[in-house]
Structure 1
Amino acid sequence: MNFELHNQRILVTGATSGIGLDIARSLAELGAELVLFGRNRDQLAKLEKELGARTLAVDITDEAAVVVAFAEMPVLDGLVNCAGISILDDVLDFKAKDIENIMNTNVTASAVVAREAARHMIAHGRQGSIVNVSSQASMAALPGHLGYCASKAAMDAMTRVLCLELGSKGIRVNSVNPTVTLTPMAERAWADPAKRNPMLAAIPLGRFATPREVALPVAFLLSPAASMISGACLPVDGGFTSH
């Protein structure tokens, strides 16, 4: 079984922070050549030096900018759709504009990037892999997460449709669905025991995920070891969605 990614060039969106940053670092450790999309130019410059990556400051919600970025894209073997946002509010208080923004980034923009990546792979004769970073929120109702849950459920549906339509081209499409993942932002957000402890109690393993515990399943799905896996939505949630 080959879990390494040598000689594979992989695009990672949302690579300048959070889970996307750890995914980029893990893929680099496994030998991948990286192209990184993000909006933080300073962080992109640091990652260019740290990982030897090609970096592009791209707002993926700007369809025209994404198309332009792909016009000069080196040949790709994989895509990790990791860019995303979350705006939390109770169902009696949410604003339609907030849900629109969540769906625009997490679904529409991710679909556009996947479309362009698939076109690019096909044009260059590549049989590649796309991994969408979804969430346990696609599989279970979470209070305050109406827009986010809806967007990640839509991403999983998108994963299945992409799998169906791109399979004949040799392109595999899967998603990973993590639980709370302890990025620096999440550590702050879940610091309050009153919020943290009920969620931990619902996870059979009794703990949250580390970013690397999400990054390595992504790497597996990109790798030749997962060559017959497509259309899967893989929980990386310590068992949260098992009950």
Structure 2
Amino acid sequence: MQLNFSSLQALVTGAGKGIGRDTVKALHALGAKVIAVSRTNTDLVSLSKECPGIETVCVDLGDWEATERALGNVGPVDLLVNNAAVAIKQPFLEVTKEALDRTLSVNLRSVFQVSQIVARGLIQRGVPGSIVNVSSMVAHVSFPNLAVYSSTKGAMTTLTKVMAAELGPYKIRVNSVNPTVVPTAMSQRVLTDPEFTRKLKERHPLQKFAEVEDVVNSIIFLLSDRSASISGSGILVDAGYLAS
């Protein structure tokens, strides 16, 4: 895919690590002006060294007021990647209020808030835009001890469709990517049982998990005009898991 984002500005949440970090690097390499958002300043400092010229914003997206202060007057944004997320591993019967509140605020509420900020700016400027929500295959299948995380991703699937329907008349496309397990720090905290991990991988028809690059490529495609007629959809980057 020969792509060029040189005239566009992109905002990526959860940009400090994993999928978000590599998405920033890909967009930067393709010429976009990137605003990288993370709650961990050391990650942003190191990312700035890898991608000179990016703008960084250090904020906890689970804090509505702090997010409004940090991003409420953000400059013109054409492309948005809602990637920030937390995954707290708890059996359903042991889910705590703290885990529920934290996960909902970061994984779902921040998507509403940041997307509203970006979409209002696009509408005010009268220009098209593209929003990609990073979801998960667990929006569609059950996974042990991830009741809260899975619930937020299931909600994100419906939210993506509603956003696409309501923002479509303004030429704003909204889609999601739904990966299987990806080798990131977050997934390593969840997959603590080697035997379970082995059996899970074997259940994938391709006998593997997804690589970060696979997810990033799907995000870049959905952000680009190569997907100009795609909105309200989700790309499964799941090594065939949902086909089995």
**Deviation of residue 48 (structure 1)?**
2.3
Of structures 1 and 2, the one scoring higher in RCO (CA 8 A, sep 6+) is 1
Where does residue 44 of structure 2 map in the other structure?
44
C-alpha distance after superposition, 1:181-237 (max 9, x if no partner): 012453565474312111111111111111111111000000010111000011111
Q: What amino acid maps onto 2:47 in structure 1?
A: L
CA distance, structure 2, for counterparts of residue 117 and residue 97 of structure 1: 29
Task: Note if contact 1:76-1:126 (Cα within 8 Å) is conserved in structure 2.
Answer: no
**Deviation of residue 32 (structure 1)?**
1.6
Task: Note if contact 1:77-1:128 (Cα within 8 Å) is conserved in structure 2.
Answer: yes
Q: What amino acid maps onto 1:60 in structure 2?
A: L
Where does residue 4 of structure 2 map in the other structure?
4
CA distance, structure 2, for counterparts of residue 129 and residue 207 of structure 1: 30
CA distance, structure 2, for counterparts of residue 241 and residue 7 of structure 1: 37
**Deviation of residue 157 (structure 1)?**
0.9
Where does residue 169 of structure 1 map in the other structure?
170
TM-aligned CA distance change 1:108 to 1:71, over 3 Å: closer
Q: What amino acid maps onto 1:11 in structure 2?
A: L
RMSD: 1.7
CA distance, structure 2, for counterparts of residue 188 and residue 138 of structure 1: 19
CA distance, structure 1, for counterparts of residue 73 and residue 46 of structure 2: 22
Task: Note if contact 1:175-1:234 (Cα within 8 Å) is conserved in structure 2.
Answer: yes
Counterparts of residues 1-243 of structure 1 (less than 5 Å)? 3-51=3-51, 52-187=53-188, 190=191, 192-243=193-244
Task: Note if contact 1:205-1:238 (Cα within 8 Å) is conserved in structure 2.
Answer: yes
TM-score (ref. length: structure 2): 0.93
TM-score (ref. length: structure 1): 0.94
**Deviation of residue 24 (structure 1)?**
1.1
TM-aligned CA distance change 1:188 to 1:95, over 3 Å: closer
What's the secondary structure of 2:175's corresponding residue? Answer: strand
CA distance, structure 1, for counterparts of residue 41 and residue 92 of structure 2: 36
Q: Which moved more, 1:123-132 or 1:38-47?
A: 38-47
TM-aligned CA distance change 1:112 to 1:156, over 3 Å: same
**Deviation of residue 8 (structure 1)?**
1.4
What's the secondary structure of 1:92's corresponding residue? Answer: helix
Task: Note if contact 2:88-2:103 (Cα within 8 Å) is conserved in structure 1.
Answer: yes
TM-aligned CA distance change 1:150 to 1:184, over 3 Å: closer
Q: Which moved more, 1:75-84 or 1:185-194?
A: 185-194
Question: Runs of at least 4 residues of structure 1 off by over 6 A?
Answer: none
Task: Note if contact 2:39-2:61 (Cα within 8 Å) is conserved in structure 1.
Answer: no
Matched length: 243
CA distance, structure 2, for counterparts of residue 70 and residue 95 of structure 1: 30
TM-aligned CA distance change 1:193 to 1:42, over 3 Å: closer
**Deviation of residue 70 (structure 1)?**
3.2
CA distance, structure 2, for counterparts of residue 162 and residue 55 of structure 1: 26
**Deviation of residue 72 (structure 1)?**
3.6
Task: Note if contact 1:183-1:210 (Cα within 8 Å) is conserved in structure 2.
Answer: no
What's the secondary structure of 1:142's corresponding residue? Answer: coil
TM-aligned CA distance change 1:102 to 1:184, over 3 Å: closer
Task: Note if contact 2:35-2:54 (Cα within 8 Å) is conserved in structure 1.
Answer: yes
**Deviation of residue 126 (structure 1)?**
2.1
Q: Which moved more, 1:233-242 or 1:183-192?
A: 183-192
CA distance, structure 2, for counterparts of residue 185 and residue 86 of structure 1: 7
Q: Which moved more, 1:17-26 or 1:67-76?
A: 67-76
Gaps of 5+ in 2: none
CA distance, structure 2, for counterparts of residue 113 and residue 98 of structure 1: 21
